[in-house]
Structure 1
Amino acid sequence: DGTVGANKNSIKIIGDHTDMYAQGYFAYDSKKSGGLTISHLRFGKKPIKSTYYITKANFVACHKPSYVNVYDMVEDLKPGGSFLLNCEWNEKELDEHLPAKMKRYIARNNINFYTINGVKLGKEIGLGGRINTILQSAFFTITGIIPKEKAIQYMKDAATKSYSRKGEKIVKMNHEAIDRGANEFVKVHVPEAWKDAVDNTTVKKVNCGDPALTEYVNNVLIPANRHQGDKLPVSAVLKMANGTVPSGSAAYEKRGIAIDVPEWNPANCIQCNTCSYVCPHAVIRPAVLNAEEVAKAPKSMKMKDMTLMPGLKFAITISTLDCTGCGSCATVCPGMRGNKALTMKPMETQLASQEGFDYGQKLSPKPEVAKKFRPTSVKGSQFHKPLLEFSGACAGCGETPYAKLATQLFGDRMYIANATGCSSIWGGSAPATPYTRNEKGYGPAWNNSLFEDNAEFGYGMALANDAIRGRLADYVKEIQAADDASDTLKTASKEYLDTAESSVANREPTDRLIAELQKAAKGSGKTAELAKKTLADKDYLAKKSIWIFGGDGWSYDIGFGGLDHVLASGENVNVLIFDTEVYSNTGGQASKATPMGSVAQFAATGKSTKKKDMPGMFMTYGYIYVAHVAMGADYNQTVKALTEAESYNGPSIIIAYAPCINQGIKGGMGISQLEEKKAVAAGYWKNFR
């Protein structure tokens, strides 16, 4: 929401316009949206040499109301200090929402308590969720470090300097935010009863079904997300000493960070699944229910008759607590007769929809639906669980929809080598893991290496997998020829070998072979020994889909030599490049993917050289599958490119246009899919495969 930037401005204002010294320390987590930032600001008449975070504060501000139930927001506040909370609650609602521990501390320590509805003001002004200048203005007024009138003028001068490049309208909106923030906060009358407030909630242990994941979530994820990771004992992480962590832990964060979330109106829905297709965080999904499941469904769960599937009901389910509120789903929704099926509503009004989403995840598979709607079609793909869900990517991220779709198509057999960058931060940044597993326990095996050698890293994974599978295939051939092997084992062996090079067809024969091997291993003789040897590496039996993920900074620049070497090798690997046309993770620096004339960091006057023609370079080899895609411009072309690349028995590369927050899209990231459509329509980006 711009808080860190505003606090840096505050330091400059105080340092430049008073005789006080200033210092700032800033702590961040790795979430791209709704992430925790803590700004530690010090001001004083003497030079400040403190080398540690503040533990005795005169002023604390909480800019996210959901934080009051996650962190100890006031534990570092001095008696008599000031606490500013950004929320929409009145005094009665504060009593309902604030935890008892916080109420006791505020009342017993004579804390001056203020609230401000920054989100409401931001919407009225036109700034949306960018509430930084509103809260900054309230800070100066409450603390009185600088006289109010002077502080307002200094802030306006700073805003003019910061935003003048974005136009007069943006500057005026920030000036209005400063004026209103200075005057529209409210001092809360703290009830005497708060001194003896009683806790009526208990922290429940999470049961994830999988013992390893349950232990990880309760002992590592939850404490770390409460900002208590430094207090974890070594024993809590000792099982992860080899670098592996259980997948699927992001599903248990339930951060509740969105301001507005989608509400589904069944009457206007044409059941196209486009909303699910474009959702960057996999929080909106179709669900199909039979009569028995309908009878057991939560009363709050909306549904309608499913098109072309008599006897089944269709629902769009929304995970309110995982949504980031980007609005991509509502933007692309075609609706019916001009009326959209999705509209954005305040999160507080949509909490009941979480129950429907949770129920939808427990429904039985519907083979008849997969038969009717091809899993490799836009609509059909969305009936498959995304094996990338609830990542920490930016709201409206242009990268994650491609990766999520890949997991819906091939996730149960994917190996992913991920270059360091945005995709490694939203893909596997501790403590949460958004890559997950399906109901059978299959899911992507994800790994992250250095920035510069990701292609080689993925290539090594492919070669190692080939070597192990080659050895296992030799064992299976021996079993097939063995005199003491049963007929059913020989049949299973033949089916396995016949489909060994098809990742789509090989899964079921592999499962049947493993079942027969487990029976054979209980006996004695040559076949039993071969069965035991094969079962020792049974996870490698099924044909894997090798993927190499990364951004344009890695692929066009730093890792290009390795990428060229790997694709030229002819090995059956698939490369997916998220082309944001800048170094996204480090703040928007120009890369060789940045087009001529674009303004970016290190190219303040516009980039002087044209964009590298990467697809053209790889097409010259003649045996590399090359695709150039923009999802928002052609949903079908994107899914076809992914399936064709995966099925091609050789190297493939897909370069996907991914709008990024660093591009400063005027309408916000909620229209990223429309930006992709406009880019192709204008000839700026060319779709081909």
Structure 2
Amino acid sequence: MTDQEPENNPLDEEHVEQVHGTKARGSGEEIHESSLPPTGLLDLDIEQYVGDFNERIIGAYAAGTAEQSLPADVGVARSLIPPGTAALRDFSYIAMEIPQFDREKCVGCMACVTECPDTAILGKAIPRSHLEAKLNAITDDQEREGIRAQWAETKKYGEVYQKKGEEGALFGIFVDPTKCKGCAECVEVCDALGYHALTMVKKDEKTLPRYRSYFNFFRHVGPTPRKYINERALADMMLYEEAALLYVGGAGSCMGCGEATAIRMMLAATGFVHGAEAVGIVAATGCNTVYGSTYPYNPYLVPWTNSLFENAPAVAMGVRAKWDQRGWQEKKLWVIGGDGAMYDIGFQSLSRMLTSGMDINVLILDTQVYSNTGGQASSATYIGQDAKMASFGKAVRGKQERRKELALIAMMHPDVFVAQTTAAHINHFYRAIMAANEYRGPAVVSVYTTCQPEHGVADDRSSHQAKLAVDSRAFPLFMYDPRKGERIKERLSLAGNPSVGEDWYKVPHTGEVIDFLAFARTEGRFAKQFDAEGHPSETLRYAQAERLANWRRLQELAGVR
């Protein structure tokens, strides 16, 4: 992460317009009402402050002169960053490559848009007549044809509507070069589905101006008409920009960060169903608060506050009580935290919140390690994992304690909705978020979030490793809904896992067994558990047995075995 941008990074006026537009929509309205009461010397005119922030403060950081030119700031004293300022951040210089779109291979599945952790690749479905009119207004032939090549003929948005006698839409994929960090996860996701519509290409002196021109067209061509957004195709939610794209990118997260994708998707599902004005966040100290508020950049278009490592659920209880007092029962409140905030030091606060019965949702970003403090082991860490405080050595071969199953513990609290899911399982994830929002009471959604540096995997592997974690029983999917019945087996569903009735999943046609050892072989955090010939250690075999026992316990509770 960098707090200061290079001097050759000019302030993009289009980005300024974009952020001012979000302010005009009222994304900071709740901050006006509740977070900033008059306080004498620190009283603040928010409208004036936000405009001044974008023009003066962001401009100084973009020019690299902030430390020398900016005086002490009232907003900093209040720990206030206006909404969406990270839209102005430019990551164009970070990576040597950028995704290139092949319209002939695209089917409009929206997986790349959904899985991008940085809101850097976006899609739109635009009626053909409207798009042609916009394209014909471009006088430069080369630019016009280049932009035209970004729009694909798809069955989903074109043929289906034409058969109903309606005008079909063309589907476009566009990459924002100022937000793309070059992780290539979009390419990996597209390839995994067998479409191969994206490839990484080298940047040169012509690439960035061309991509900026294309993305400028994308921003001004207009929104996707609501009729082309199929609510049954859950990935389509991010086509609804006004309410679903509530995380603008520009955060200082690592390339390919698994956490950021989960946060984007949670906000998309909540905003799409309930509206952009109906969501707020209480965040526990962790990676999410660091990359979400690297001053002066805030990627959120919703009000959020950061509490201490251990008490975010308690803070949320206070917020919920105040909201309810004001008659804001319909607003959705989410607590976001990682292993320490939920599994360990903040567990008591979480447990108290769950027993309160209050209508609060919790998003657990499960990285199985304290990523924010340099990869320390936590009670979410797997047996055999090499981590700080549990390093692999002659006497102790990595983490020895068994992993705490927080989702199972949450189930044991009275009438709590619980889901264990991953952002890679798009439909399962979105259904879990929507069910949590719908449930009138405490809800916990625990999400497997790949941490590339600490797991020892490549930048493009977040989705791939999350899928493998599920297939190998390292992190099974489930939903536990108290509304489904009185018995645990009526409430608990293992739908979404492969071979639900078996111990291990076997790949069709090859018969390859995907067990915990197969998962561990793909990650650097378990590398020392294999000898030169690839044989697993006794510690890792014990870890495999422990994962199988956990899976069998879930099968028993769900009435599968």
Same fold (TM over 0.5): yes
Structure 2: any 5+ residue segments left out of the alignment?
24-47, 139-143, 162-166, 393-397, 480-561
The 3 A distance-change label for structure 1 pair 213 and 317 is: farther
Whose Rg is larger? 1
C-alpha contact (below 8 Å) 2:134/2:221 kept by paired residues: no
Q: Is 2:391 the partner of 1:600?
A: no
Residue matched to 1:688? 478
The 3 A distance-change label for structure 1 pair 653 and 339 is: closer
**TM superposition shift of 1:221:** 1.9
C-alpha contact (below 8 Å) 2:450/2:466 kept by paired residues: yes
Q: Is 2:396 the partner of 1:609?
A: no
Query: What is the percent sequence identity of the aligned residues?
Result: 28
The 3 A distance-change label for structure 1 pair 669 and 204 is: closer
The 3 A distance-change label for structure 1 pair 556 and 225 is: farther
Q: Is 2:299 the partner of 1:434?
A: yes
Equivalent positions of 1:550-561 (< 5 A) are 550-561=337-348
Partner Cα separation in structure 2 for residue 206 and residue 615 of structure 1:
40
Residue matched to 1:651? 442
C-alpha contact (below 8 Å) 2:126/2:169 kept by paired residues: yes
Residue matched to 2:319? 461
Partner Cα separation in structure 2 for residue 279 and residue 404 of structure 1:
9
Higher-RCO chain (CA-CA 8 Å, sequence separation at least 6): 2
Taking only aligned residues, the RMSD between alpha carbons, in angstroms, comes to: 2.5
The 3 A distance-change label for structure 1 pair 294 and 212 is: farther
Equivalent positions of 1:205-604 (< 5 A) are 207-208=16-17, 209=20, 212-234=49-71, 237-239=73-75, 241-256=77-92, 257-290=94-127, 291-297=129-135, 299=144, 300-301=146-147, 302-305=150-153, 306-307=157-158, 308-309=160-161, 310-334=167-191, 340-348=196-204, 350-351=207-208, 352-369=210-227, 372-374=229-231, 377-384=234-241, 385-390=244-249, 391-411=251-271, 412=276, 413-436=278-301, 444-469=302-327, 543-604=330-391
Q: What amino acid does structure 2 have at the position aligned with 1:674?
A: H
**TM superposition shift of 1:683:** 1.1
Structure 1: any 5+ residue segments left out of the alignment?
1-30, 38-65, 71-200, 437-443, 471-500, 502-542
Residue matched to 2:498? none
C-alpha contact (below 8 Å) 1:274/1:379 kept by paired residues: no
**TM superposition shift of 1:586:** 1.1
**TM superposition shift of 1:406:** 1.5
469, 479, 484: which one aligns with 1:679: 469
Q: TM-score, normalised on structure 2?
A: 0.69
Partner Cα separation in structure 2 for residue 616 and residue 207 of structure 1:
46
Report how many aligned residue pairs link the two structures. Answer: 415
Q: What amino acid does structure 2 have at the position aligned with 1:387?
A: L
Q: Deviations over 1:426-445 (max 9, x none)?
A: 22221101112xxxxxxx11
What SS class does the counterpart of residue 589 from structure 1 fall into?
coil
The 3 A distance-change label for structure 1 pair 568 and 232 is: farther
Q: Deviations over 1:258-302 (max 9, x none)?
A: 221100000010110000010000111111223234322461322
Q: Deviations over 1:124-152 (max 9, x none)?
A: xxxxxxxxxxxxxxxxxxxxxxxxxxxxx
**TM superposition shift of 1:598:** 1.1
C-alpha contact (below 8 Å) 1:660/1:669 kept by paired residues: no
Partner Cα separation in structure 1 for residue 12 and residue 313 of structure 2:
44
**TM superposition shift of 1:244:** 2.7
Q: TM-score, normalised on structure 1?
A: 0.57
Q: What amino acid does structure 2 have at the position aligned with 1:369?
A: K
**TM superposition shift of 1:227:** 3.9
The 3 A distance-change label for structure 1 pair 204 and 267 is: closer
The 3 A distance-change label for structure 1 pair 586 and 552 is: same
The 3 A distance-change label for structure 1 pair 649 and 459 is: same
Partner Cα separation in structure 2 for residue 416 and residue 202 of structure 1:
29
Q: What amino acid does structure 1 have at the position aligned with 2:450?
A: P
C-alpha contact (below 8 Å) 1:374/1:380 kept by paired residues: yes
C-alpha contact (below 8 Å) 1:574/1:652 kept by paired residues: yes
The 3 A distance-change label for structure 1 pair 649 and 589 is: same
**TM superposition shift of 1:376:** 7.0
Partner Cα separation in structure 1 for residue 312 and residue 280 of structure 2:
13
Q: What amino acid does structure 1 have at the position aligned with 2:323?
A: N
The 3 A distance-change label for structure 1 pair 381 and 204 is: closer
C-alpha contact (below 8 Å) 2:309/2:340 kept by paired residues: no
C-alpha contact (below 8 Å) 2:364/2:445 kept by paired residues: yes
Q: What amino acid does structure 1 have at the position aligned with 2:404?
A: K
Greater mean deviation of Cα atoms: 651-660 or 618-627: 618-627
**TM superposition shift of 1:645:** 0.6
